[in-house]
Amino acid sequence: MDRARRISRFAVAVASILVAGIALAGCSAASGDPVAVPTPPTTADLPAALQKQLRTAVTEAMKATDSSGAIVTVTAPWAGTWTAALGVTSPGGKTPVTTDMTFRAGQITRAMTCDALYRVAAAGKVKLTDSIADYMDGIQSLKDATLGDLCDSTSGIGSYGGQLASDELDNPGRAWDPNELIAYGLGATPDGVSPGDAYRASDAGYVLLGQALQKATGQTPAQILANQVFRPLGLTSTALPGDAPNEPVVGDSTALPGYVVRQDAKGNLQCKAPTDITTMSASFGSTDSGVVTDITDLSTYVRALATGGLVPDKSRFENALAVSTSSPVWFTAAGGAVKAGTLIGQYGKMPGYLTAAFSEPTSGLTVAVVLNNSTADRTPILSLAWELAALASKAPATAGETAPAAGLPWTAATYAAKVTAHPICGS
């Protein structure tokens, strides 16, 4: 096979997906028509030496976050794939984690909700420029904010998560009313905010977007995501659960148990007695962070996100904004996703889990990983994903393949140090 053909194999696959996506853009909002996702052109395993580096990176992250288990998949299409389940399902336990276990996707749900918005808009049910006041009563003060602003996190609406974190953990079985969550977010909206002027991640904004889509389509958020995202991509282990207390399980799968280390009366972390938070209502996350998935589906999803398999609208990731005033210039956000250099994906936490997934549209470099302890902030899981991507980006090409010339604007060592900088239990 000549060099040009070797380089173009994944790119051709991506192009075919974009064509398919354009053809589907006018389909009805409930069609669930299948959408192809480019698959890596090699089924080889990544080199043993690289696998060892990747395993070490995940193991160090597990120690830093006090996670008993992790599931990860890393694909460099020119070199191979590594998928692994590390550790055990409970601290001090003996049951090994397996790669088919399901878990909570956390804020990766945001990108999925935006997928649904764009597809419902393509079907003529809504417009990205529609005012959110057209869909929800009592928010005339934000009438200038649009559905597109909710997707981009530029509406200015505040968040409820920090306000209700203790209540959430104290009452894991509670079925939260989405309107209550939205109200808390609206109550935390800063004065003088102008929609569209800056990125301010808002969990309430994505819950509000889910409610607006429900009003526009007459379908529940679970049905909308199933019809617009999960079924088209063939994600059989992915769903938005109902309000009842529910392990992160889809179909006949088994859940990866999730934990959080809580404080005692004196404010000390109870590191030797983490709280099992596996069974809780997904209603607290809803269309912001409530989706359940497995590592295979998550990897498939983020490849579709990056390549535009579901949403071929290229404007979605244009005019991306800085994630924060202190973030690197190459770290931006748009369309319910974040961009790190050329990688597109999302990351975050839901009680019990830290999750991240990123993919590079042209080369197909893809990383998806979950840790089963959510006590830490989101920094370790994001840093781990970027560390894994940097390691995999240097993978040597197998016979007949060509490694991409472009690299990432960071080194694995930089983010390895950030993963382990602040271990939650002094590991």
Question: Is residue 410's pLDDT more than 80?
Answer: yes
pLDDT digits 0-9 by tens, 271-306: 999 999 999 999 999 999 999 999 999 999 999 999
Q: What confidence score (pLDDT) does residue 117 get?
A: 98
Percent of the chain scoring above 90 in pLDDT:
77
Give Dmax over CA atoms of the chain in angstroms. 67
> Phi, psi at residue 371, to the nearest 5°?
-115, 145
Q: Mean pLDDT over residues 182-201, rounded?
A: 88
The predicted pLDDT at position 31 comes to 55
pLDDT of residue 16: 38
The span from the CA of 111 to the CA of 88, in Å, is: 30
pTM: 0.92
**Distance in angstroms (rounded) separating the CA atoms of residues 60 and 294:** 22
Domains of the chain: 3-419 (3.40.710.10)
Give 18-64 pLDDT, tens digit per residue.
Answer: 333 333 333 434 457 888 876 665 679 999 999 999 999 999 999 99
Torsion sign over Cα 228, 145, 208, 213? negative
3-class SS of residue 12 = helix
Hey, which bits of 46-190 come out as E strands?
69-76, 80-87, 102-104
Spatial CA neighbour of 256 closest among 225, 284, 277, 228: 277
Predicted confidence (pLDDT) per residue in 216-247, tens digit: 999 999 999 999 999 999 999 999 998 888 88
pLDDT reported for residue 8: 39
pLDDT at 92 exceeding the cut of 60:
yes
pLDDT tens by residue, 294-343: 999 999 999 999 999 999 998 999 989 999 999 999 999 999 999 999 99
Q: Two tokens at 422?
A: 């602040």
pLDDT digits (tens, 9 = 90+) for 138-175: 777 678 899 999 999 999 999 999 999 999 999 999 99
Identity at 174, one-letter amino acid code: R
pLDDT of the residue at 246: 82
Alpha carbons within 13 angstroms on the beta-carbon side of residue 341 total: 16
Show Cβ contacts of residue 10 under 8 Å, excluding neighbours closer than 6 positions: 38, 40, 41, 77, 78, 362, 363, 364
Q: 302 and 338 in contact (C-beta within 8 Å)? A: no
Joined tokens for residue 317: 């990731």
User: Is pLDDT of 89 > 50?
Assistant: yes
Tokens of 416: 């390895």
What pLDDT, on a 0 to 100 scale, did the predictor assign at position 40?
66
| Helix ranges restricted to H, 101-228 | 108-122, 147-152, 161-170, 178-187, 203-217, 221-225
